[in-house]
Structure 1
Amino acid sequence: MKHVLFYLSMVIATLCAIPTQSYAQANAKQARAIMDKTAKVISKPGGISASFTMAHPTNGKISGTIAVKGNKFHAKTSAATVWFNGKTQWTYMKRNDEVNVSNPTLAQQQMMNPYTFVNIYKKGYTLSAKSEGANNVVHLVAQTKKQSIQEMYVTVNKKTSVPSKIKMKHSNKWYTITIGSLSSRKQPDSLFSFNSKDYPSAEVIDLR
């Protein structure tokens, strides 16, 4: 159970040496421009949905689906479901038939939603970019040790600006999230809040 919760808390890191300061500045601007385009694609007013696979260095992989609308998200795997409405998080564990309720901190929110890079790249990170075939890979490095995510790589398609992979470093370990079937569609606000009527037998544990 702990492994599944950890994975969902993740459902939700410069690729090369930069020889001169002027090149570094130009590369940083290019990287930010790439991220700005990607942020625009992901930050559709109605929201987006996608499939994902998260890989843990020791605990293997887990797959599921995620819907995102602003800072709200809903993630689901075969073992667990998470709702976050912008303030409150509900985590339902199928095996135990229980729901944990919490108010995550900003740092915890960053680790729960793989699309938080849409906001965190704008402040507190040094950016660079590298071309790899049909993709651009943007490298983010935290400017201080206070950031919960110290390093991140975001792989983005050059033509569509859609991200396909996010690799992040947290607590000296690397985690990889592969994204597929991303689509823009209107997501109802009700999707991001737990409805007890749908889980009548579940035990609700309030951790707030």
Structure 2
Amino acid sequence: MRFFRIFLLMSLLSVSLSATAALSANEAQARRIFDKTYSMVFGPQGCMLSYNVNIIGLYKTTGTIWYKGKKQKFIEKRYASWCDGHSFYRVDTKKRTIELHDPNSPNRDKYASKFAFHADNYTYHVKGRKQYYEITLDAKDGVSGYIKHVKALIDGRTYAPVSLKIKVAFFWTTIKISNLRSGGIDDSMFSFPRQQFAGYEFIDKRAE
């Protein structure tokens, strides 16, 4: 479970945008809202957000994540990672280890490929509320993958994501999102601060 929750969040949000066709008015509206929220998180301006993950009450964690292009960073109580687009550093503060990975390698985390998410593999529906939009995503017939259903709650005024409820295989995971800041993300924060982890074991896994 150690990196399951962050890659679940990243895989869900990291969708590829493409043109939609032959959609109902409701589906088209739902996709437009979803894409607008996506651009706030994954646009070239970068973003920061805090998350609170609850996997059917059995596993809980909180943290903060930053994105900007291929760069990313997240901080939790035990785990953290930095990726400057060229190197991916993963820190375990309990084991006092630092792993160095190729950022493009699927081996940097075994859960990443299992929870890939592609926006066009789902149908969309929106419920309009005074304060929030509720976007429901259902996997189309024949689509393989672990994520089958998603309910995304989006702020009706700012379009910021509020929460995600995701059905992965046979269980539901809830992710609450807060403190979204879109833009103003300096590239320097993605540089790994190795001096903060003096005495940690360094493990180079780039050849794996």
- Smaller-chain TM-score bracket: 0.7 to 0.9
Gaps of 5+ in 1: 14-23
- TM-score (ref. length: structure 1): 0.76
How far the C-alpha of 1:10 sits from its partner, in A, is 2.6
> Closer, same or farther in 2 for the Cα pair 1:104/1:84, shift >3 Å?
farther
Between the aligned partners of 2:2 and 2:28, the Cα distance in structure 1 is 37
Q: 1:203 to 1:70 in 2, by over 3 A?
A: same
Identity of aligned residues (%): 25
Q: Could you give the per-residue CA deviations for residues 151-201 of structure 1, whole angstroms, max 9, x where no partner exists?
A: 212111111111110122223221111011111243233433534343232
1:19 equivalent in structure 2: none
Give, in whole Å, the separation in 2 of the partners of 1:75 and 1:198.
15
Query: Map of 1:23-62 to 2, 5 A cutoff?
Result: 25-62=24-61
User: 1:18-97, aligned counterparts within 5 Å?
Assistant: 25-86=24-85, 89-97=88-96
Greater RCO (CA < 8 Å, at least 6 residues apart): 1
CA–CA distance in structure 1, aligned partners of residues 143 and 157 of structure 2: 34
Kindly provide the amino acid, as one letter, of the partner of residue 98 in structure 2: V
Q: How does 1:154-173 map to 2 (within 5 A)?
A: 154-173=152-171
Residue 114 of structure 2 contacts residue 145 of structure 2 at CA under 8 Å; is this kept in 1?
no
Equivalent residues in 2 for 1:99-178, closer than 5 Å: 99-102=98-101, 103-104=105-106, 108=112, 111=115, 120-121=118-119, 123-143=120-140, 144-178=142-176
**How many residues end up aligned between the 2 structures?**
189
Retained in 2: the 8 A contact 1:87–1:104? no
Question: Counterpart of 1:62 in structure 2: which amino acid?
Answer: T
Q: Secondary structure at the match of 2:181?
A: strand
Matched residue type, 1:202:
Y
Query: 3-state SS of the aligned residue for 1:186?
Result: coil
Kept in 2: contact 1:152–1:166 (CA 8 A): yes
1:58 shift after superposition: 4.3
After superposition, the CA RMSD in angstroms is 2.9
